[in-house]
Amino acid sequence: MKKLLVIAYYWPPCGGVGVQRWLRNTKYLLQYGWEITVITTQNGDYPATDESLVVNVPKEIKVIQTKTPTFSGLFKKAGENKVPYGSLETNSADSLFKKVSIWIRLNLIIPDARKIWNRFAYDAARKELLTDKYNAVITTGPPHSSHLIGLKLKKKYNVNWISDFRDPWTQMGYLKNVKRLKLTSYLDTLLENKIVKHSNVVIAASRKIIDDLNCSTDKIHKITNGFDPDDYREIKREKRSDDFNLNYFGTLPPESNPIIVLKAVLQLHKKGITGIKMNFWGNVSNKVKEQLVILDDYEIVKFNKHTSHKEAIELMANSSMLLLMINKVKNNEGIITAKIFEYLGSEITILGVGPILSEPAIILQETSSGKMFHYDDLNAIADHIENEYKLWKQGSELALKDIDKYNCVNLTKKLDSILEKFI
């Protein structure tokens, strides 16, 4: 029997897009004859929880949940709602505790605060390796501290180790707009290089991540995120709404402020196109909320609480247009948010705002699923929304092409071919 050990901080009931990659990979690897054990957290510091995802974990997968110390309790005692996630910027309105905590996180905790889980995950992995034979061990990040577990297992037991980079490490978007000590950045880069050097195989979710890692081409492979066709099989397509719903799903940090899109919608409103609404589901930065509310004179914008993955997929599929925001940070051409693939699966046109010469822009163009616009291109964004609004009024449907390469079934086939080398 082919056996695989996966170490993943984010796993159901954790919500958000970070959990989806390996929930899907493990699901489809079972079809290739892999016996899988997942070591994960028990009530970790999650961006959100989604109990509905628990039922999506195949019963054939052995899941080991370890003790998981967190910083959540400390933040709550200090009067903070939650541990910062998705952005590490501070502003004058933040408490002294939050400012100091984020400075410590950025400069004294390398690579990230979730490393306090590592000891417990390592102990669980060690027990598994001593009692059973595994063909390979996979660590997935973020949090990139999880890769330190793989490094330790590699040195101790010489396991076949695959490090999976869902997002950049030292080039992560939220690190671009904050100040770090030079020594911290140097040590962080040393750690990243050590992980890449000692991994048998490195998997990256984008070409930009590969370029940033500066890794030899024979050991690194690009496997993007994707969509699971099973998520869309039982979707109920509702009767078309009277409003044209431009919807966004997921975390929305200050670096992804969609104010330009609201300005475009307001511009159309003045032209008499008054049926466009903007709806947001997920964790929206307070700074973003405030700016949108101040500008919104016509109740165009609505903020909704975080919803389950299943409900989000159904809401996507019943949208008129989907909004994709790429963080406005340096070197953002390779930021491919996982939601773009679920947007593709929903078969709804996509409005992208970000670098027009970028990997996500290429995906939109190649699949005929939408178009990417620069952050300041107000008139072009307004014209595009107006054109899509008219097509929607006519009942026109989106004609997608070449999206099968982002189907998780096909992506997992590529992953299996990599793992087969360790049989």
- Assess if residue 77 is contained within a domain: no
Residues 311, 181 share a domain:
no
Residue 155 in this model has a pLDDT that exceeds 90: yes
Write down the pLDDT at residue 252.
93
- Assess if residue 9 is contained within a domain: yes
Residues 254, 135 share a domain:
no
pLDDT band at 72; cut points 50, 70, 90: low
Please state the separation of Cα 279 from the chain's center in Å: 20
**Cis geometry, peptide bond prior to residue 84 (ω within 30 degrees of 0):** no
Angle between helices 118-131 and 146-157 (to 10 degrees): 40
Give the alpha-carbon dihedral of 162, 168, 174, 178, to 10 degrees. Answer: 100
- Assess if residue 75 is contained within a domain: no
Residues 284, 158 share a domain:
no
Residues 125, 273 share a domain:
no
The three state secondary structure string of 112-156 is CHHHHHHHHHHHHHHHHHHHCCCCEEEEEECCCCHHHHHHHHHHH
Range in 15-29, 100-114, 238-252, 329-343 with the lowest mean pLDDT: 100-114
Residues 294, 400 share a domain:
yes
Residues 281, 134 share a domain:
no
The three state secondary structure string of the chain is CEEEEEECCCCCCECCHHHHHHHHHHHHHHHHCEEEEEEEECCCCCCCECHHHHHHCCCCCEEEEECCCCCHHHHHHCCCCCCCCCCCCCCCCCCHHHHHHHHHHHHCCCCCHHHHHHHHHHHHHHHHHHHCCCCEEEEEECCCCHHHHHHHHHHHHCCCEEEEECCCCCCCHHHCCCCCCHHHHHHHHHHHHHHHHHCCEEEECCHHHHHHHCCCCCCEEECCCCECHHHHCCCCCCCCCCCEEEEEECCECHHHCCHHHHHHHHHHHHCCCCCEEEEEECCECHHHHHHHHHHCCCCCEEEECCCCHHHHHHHHHCCCEEEEECCCCCCCCCCCCCHHHHHHHHCCCEEEECCCCCHHHHHHHHHCCEEEECCCCHHHHHHHHHHHHHHHHCCCCCCCCCCHHHEHHHHHHHHHHHHHHHC
Spatial contact of 323 and 279, defined as CB atoms under 8 Å apart:
no
Mean pLDDT calculated for residue range 239-263: 94
pLDDT one-digit tens code per residue, 337-390: 999 999 999 999 999 999 999 999 999 999 999 999 999 999 999 999 999 999
CATH number of the domain encompassing residue 34: 3.40.50.2000
- Assess if residue 306 is contained within a domain: yes
The total of other beta-carbon atoms located within 10 Å of residue 236's CB is 7
The total of other beta-carbon atoms located within 10 Å of residue 379's CB is 10
Write down the pLDDT at residue 219.
94
- Number of domains the chain is built from: 2
Residues 241, 215 share a domain:
no
Spatial contact of 342 and 408, defined as CB atoms under 8 Å apart:
no
Write down the pLDDT at residue 93.
58
Residues 263, 238 share a domain:
yes
Residues 215, 339 share a domain:
no
Q: Distance (Å, rounded) from C-alpha 68 to C-alpha 353?
A: 37
Per the DSSP assignment, residues forming a β-bridge with 322 are 247, 350
- Assess if residue 285 is contained within a domain: yes
- Assess if residue 384 is contained within a domain: yes
Whole-model pTM?
0.91
- Assess if residue 20 is contained within a domain: yes
pLDDT band at 105; cut points 50, 70, 90: confident
- The chain-wide mean pLDDT, for the chain, equals 92
Q: Distance (Å, rounded) from C-alpha 179 to C-alpha 106?
A: 8
Residues 249, 182 share a domain:
no
pLDDT band at 304; cut points 50, 70, 90: very high
pLDDT one-digit tens code per residue, 5-17: 999 999 999 998 8
Residue 166 structural domain: 2-68+110-226+409-422
- Assess if residue 257 is contained within a domain: yes
**Sequence-separated (6 or more) residues with CB below 8 Å from residue 316:** 247, 249, 322, 342, 343, 346, 348
Residue 83 in this model has a pLDDT that exceeds 80: no
Residues 368, 287 share a domain:
yes
Residues 383, 259 share a domain:
yes
